[in-house]
């Protein structure tokens, strides 16, 4: 079977694009005509397997949020799901997202359910997304499900942006500091070292400065290679053994606290969405745990879900997870006793998000002056040492 890309007109006269699998172009044309679609061009297209590989590399969270929110809007307006996907595929004229939408459009027109289509692309649509879509199709509330999913994806997108924003400025400052330090020891100090050629009994601080400069020039390439090797090693460790990578990365200072806050937001936001959609607590925990990135935390939450299935209380089971400190455990107790769990999970997610944004603001506000002071201290220290060394040269020559 070969995959063909086509441009055609449907029974309403609207121009559509999509893909179809067939033995040859003639069979593909006949299949389209049987679906009351009049093709104007049919060309060979990449197999759907390659499409899956491309989509997992090129389709971002922002793309999926856009598609989901647009589908929610179109379905609320009374547009059929196949027509809605076709409109989105036509507007996205190129790129991996366009190819994915065309493939989905073709599968929908074949009569496949949207949930089964999404399950073919696990790198794009996670199990939480697929399960919610399946629920919406079964209950006839797919537009409402897409609305909830778009809100959740927007929440995750904003969280990702907050994290990137919190790390961007300190990272820039750090690289500026490193660049200035390398410039001083590679160019400034060597230029002035000629003043001390042939001199004996140099002051210890002058000799130390010259030795540091020489060490930097001799070994900076090796240090850079070692750092790159460490980063690559961590990357391959993450790809081969995610659990061990998580254990390594959480040992870094501050990182563990940040990971706990982020996973608390993800899990509780997902729980709130699914409970509002009518999913049972044990099933909601099972699905929400899959949205958690850290393997140890995810395993703990899955264990809590298993304990709840066996009859344990919600608060008792979730309190064993690191993402629920005492204050949030007390909120869970209130929700469990009142039977209003969805608002409680939503409250925990909102409070955690506020905590994260507050921490990010404090972190960047504190780290910026620290890095500037370090850079200024090193550069200023070098300048002072050079001045003292020049003065000592004049004293010795005198």
CA distance 185 to 212: 8
Supply the pLDDT for residue 240. 62
CB 106 within 8 A of CB 18: yes
**Confidence tier at 198 by pLDDT (50, 70, 90):** low
Q: What is the pLDDT of residues 61-101, one digit of tens each?
A: 888 888 889 888 888 888 888 888 888 877 765 577 878 88
- Tell me what the mean pLDDT of segment 313-339 comes to: 87
- Tell me what the mean pLDDT of segment 11-40 comes to: 75
Return the beta strands (E) in 210-322 as ranges: none
Long-range contacts of 246-250 (CB under 8 A, 24+ apart): 246/294, 246/295, 246/296, 247/296, 250/294, 250/296
**Burial class of 370 by CB neighbour count within 10 A (0 to 12, 13 to 18, 19+):** exposed
**Confidence tier at 54 by pLDDT (50, 70, 90):** very low
**Burial class of 379 by CB neighbour count within 10 A (0 to 12, 13 to 18, 19+):** middle
- Tell me what the mean pLDDT of segment 349-367 comes to: 83
Q: Which tokens go with 323?
A: 């993402």
Number of residues that this document lists for the chain: 398
200 pLDDT exceeds 80?
A: no
Q: Which residue is listed with tokens 């869970």?
A: 332
51 pLDDT exceeds 60?
A: no
The pTM is what?
A: 0.67
Supply the pLDDT for residue 44. 73
CB 149 within 8 A of CB 129: yes
Comma-separated ranges of CATH 1.20.81.30 domains in the chain: 170-398
Q: What percent of the chain has pLDDT over 70?
A: 87
47 pLDDT exceeds 50?
A: no
Supply the pLDDT for residue 14. 67
Supply the pLDDT for residue 94. 57
Mean pLDDT of the chain: 79
- Nearest CA to 166 out of 353, 361, 350 is that of 361
Supply the pLDDT for residue 153. 85
Map residue 47 onto helix, strand or coil: coil
In this structure, CATH architecture of domain 170-398: Up-down Bundle (1.20)
150 pLDDT exceeds 80?
A: yes
Lowest mean pLDDT segment, chosen from 139-153, 159-173, 333-347: 159-173
Q: What is the pLDDT of residues 241-292, one digit of tens each?
A: 666 666 666 677 677 888 888 888 888 888 888 888 788 888 888 888 877 8
């Amino acid at each position: 079977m070969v995959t063909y890309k086509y441009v055609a007109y449907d029974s309403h006269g609207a121009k559509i694009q999509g893909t179809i699998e067939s033995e040859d172009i003639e069979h593909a044309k006949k299949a389209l005509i049987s679906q009351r679609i009049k093709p104007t061009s049919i060309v060979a297209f990449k197999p759907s397997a390659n499409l899956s590989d491309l989509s997992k590399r090129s389709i971002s969270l922002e793309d999926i949020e856009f598609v989901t929110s647009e589908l929610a809007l179109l379905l609320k307006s009374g547009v059929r799901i196949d027509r809605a996907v076709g409109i989105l595929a036509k507007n996205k004229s190129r790129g991996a997202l366009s190819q994915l939408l065309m493939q989905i459009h073709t599968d929908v027109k074949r009569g496949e359910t949207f949930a089964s289509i999404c399950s073919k692309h696990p790198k794009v649509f996670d199990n939480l997304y697929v399960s919610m879509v399946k629920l919406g199709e079964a209950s006839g509330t797919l537009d409402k499900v897409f609305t909830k999913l778009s809100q959740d994806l927007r929440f995750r997108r904003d969280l990702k942006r907050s994290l990137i924003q919190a790390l961007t400025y300190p990272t820039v400052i750090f690289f500026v500091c490193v660049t200035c330090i390398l410039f001083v020891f590679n160019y400034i100090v060597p230029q002035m070292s000629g003043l001390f050629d042939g001199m004996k009994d140099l002051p210890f601080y002058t000799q130390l400065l010259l030795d540091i400069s020489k060490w930097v020039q001799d070994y900076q390439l090796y240090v850079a290679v070692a750092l790159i090797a460490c980063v690559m090693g961590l990357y391959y460790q993450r790809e081969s053994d995610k659990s061990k990578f998580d254990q390594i990365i959480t040992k870094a200072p501050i990182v563990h606290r940040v990971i706990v806050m982020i996973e608390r937001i993800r899990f509780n936001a997902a729980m709130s969405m699914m409970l509002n959609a009518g999913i049972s607590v044990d099933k909601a925990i099972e699905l929400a745990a899959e949205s958690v990135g850290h393997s140890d935390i995810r395993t703990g939450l899955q264990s809590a879900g298993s304990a709840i299935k066996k009859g344990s209380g919600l608060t008792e089971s979730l309190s064993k997870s690191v993402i629920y400190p005492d204050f949030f455990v007390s909120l869970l107790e209130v929700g469990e006793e009142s039977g209003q769990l969805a608002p409680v999970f939503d409250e925990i997610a909102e409070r955690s998000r506020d905590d994260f944004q507050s921490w990010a603001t404090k972190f960047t506000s504190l780290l910026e002056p620290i890095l500037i002071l370090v850079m200024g201290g090193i550069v200023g220290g070098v300048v002072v040492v050079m001045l003292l060394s020049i003065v000592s040269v004049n004293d010795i020559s005198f």
